Homo-oligomer: A and B are copies of this chain.
């Protein structure tokens, strides 16, 4: 392995001079030495040891991307796109992304410390431990989709509440008065809760309050679904707070012989790439995942560059994308 020392010896200078060239501090080295050293570096294929650099400077140029959950987290296209974009931009900034799956927040601290990690991006539901995570790790942290009550937090999210409202208003506009909410995690995930709140609130405002039995914590079993869609006051439309839920729901309805949107309408959330290809193509609330990633990484590097930068909580807008999974009941008559 080629080291600074080797290059220094061959060039007949001290390691400090070589170190300066490697680090681009050209104003501190004579022109002739720069040339000579650069050519030796090139010739010998010198690659700086980042462990050594990290140890002596206490800066690793590593960013942790922390994903709540297990391997299945990346099968969710929303996370995949986000993580992919974030990691790419980290690399683009000449840092290295490390991917961590975490369930226990204590693991996080351990991992961040062990590598002198310089910053971290969090995806997932860390809300309840957020204050502790911040207290334990005095490095720039950026959260995505957090609804923690902690004020001093740098977060990028979307207007989930508005998304819920948009879905409700659209369904009502299309003549749906008895609707249901189908999606998990509303107890734990602030995101889902907000989408539900916005949905529920708009429905109330329009005079069609959401009853408790129409809030389903997950895509329901056939029995439950059947009862909902058939009774005397059948549900005519569903809001799924994620396109993947919408997809599963459509599959489930299909199994019961209920066609979407003829017999039953469905509206999703996210506008993942497959939404335009499903059957029927999915009417959904669109969010800009790439933009989210972009902003998260920008914020992170701003804070790395300026540790005194103020906490920022950025909320991106959402919009409804009309496709064909919602039936217009007015036209139907």
Contact = CB atoms under 8 A, between A and B. Distances in A.
Given A247-B277, A279-B277, A114 B49 contact: yes
Query: How many copies of this chain sit in the oligomeric assembly?
Result: 2
Interface of A: 1, 47-52, 54-55, 60, 62, 70-75, 77, 80-81, 83-85, 87-89, 91, 96-101, 109-111, 113-116, 247-248, 250-251, 273-274, 276-281
A270 to B, nearest CB: 13
Given A51-B116, A71-B89, 7 more contacts: A50-B114, A75-B273, A80-B80, A80-B84, A96-B100, A247-B274, A279-B281
A245 to B, nearest CB: 11
A117 to B, nearest CB: 10
Contact of A97 (B99, B113, B114, B281): B99
A73 B84 contact: yes
B71 A75 contact: no
Contact of A75 (B73, B80, B114): B80
A5 to B, nearest CB: 14
Contacts of A47: 109-110, 113-114
A62 B248 CA distance: 37
Nearest to A112: B47
Nearest to A293: B71
